[in-house]
């Protein structure tokens, strides 16, 4: 019984650099550290919030938001990410996935791939 859903395309075939375990693990770590920072920054700006305004919504300081938006910070905690997701009115998903799924998810690095609609925006779009 296969418990893991397979991507529709073999994205691993395009990642020959991942044959090296250290390379693929480093890539995964960089995705965790950098992608969330970029998402916070892009989604804050899309919502036309300053770092200070987002900090007020989250209950923290502008300095903390600046750290969370820094792709080199790499110390995001799940509780802080939950607060961010509440401020953006979107979901947060943290799960272990096979590298094929990571390859699929990180194929598109456009700005649009990092933007997330709020729940209200999704409801409005369904009408």
Residue 3 lies in a domain: no
Give alpha helix (H) positions in 2-118: 21-30, 36-46, 51-58, 62-68, 78-88, 99-105, 111-114
- Sign of the CA dihedral with 22 first, then 25, 112, and 11 last: positive
Residue 77 above 90 pLDDT?
yes
Express each pLDDT in 17-74 by its tens digit.
999 999 999 999 999 999 999 999 999 999 999 999 999 999 999 999 999 999 999 8
CA distance 73 to 92: 19
CATH number, position 95: 1.10.260.40
The answer to whether 87 touches 58, Cβ cutoff 8 Å, is yes
Joined together, the tokens standing for residue 34 give 């950098």
CA distance 3 to 24: 23
Show the domain range for 105. 17-126
What's residue 74's pLDDT? 86
């Amino acid at each position: 019984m296969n418990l893991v859903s397979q991507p529709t395309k073999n994205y691993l075939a395009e990642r020959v650099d991942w044959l090296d375990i250290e390379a693929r693990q480093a890539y995964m770590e960089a995705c965790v550290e950098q992608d969330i920072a970029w998402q916070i920054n892009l989604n804050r700006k899309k919502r036309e919030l300053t770092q200070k305004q987002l900090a007020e919504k989250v209950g923290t300081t502008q300095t903390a938001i600046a750290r969370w938006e820094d792709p080199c910070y790499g110390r995001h905690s799940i509780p802080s990410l939950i607060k961010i997701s509440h401020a953006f009115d979107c979901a947060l998903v943290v799960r272990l996935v096979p590298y094929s799924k990571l390859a699929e998810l990180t194929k598109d690095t456009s700005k649009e791939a990092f933007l997330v609609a709020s729940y209200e925006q999704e409801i409005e779009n369904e009408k």
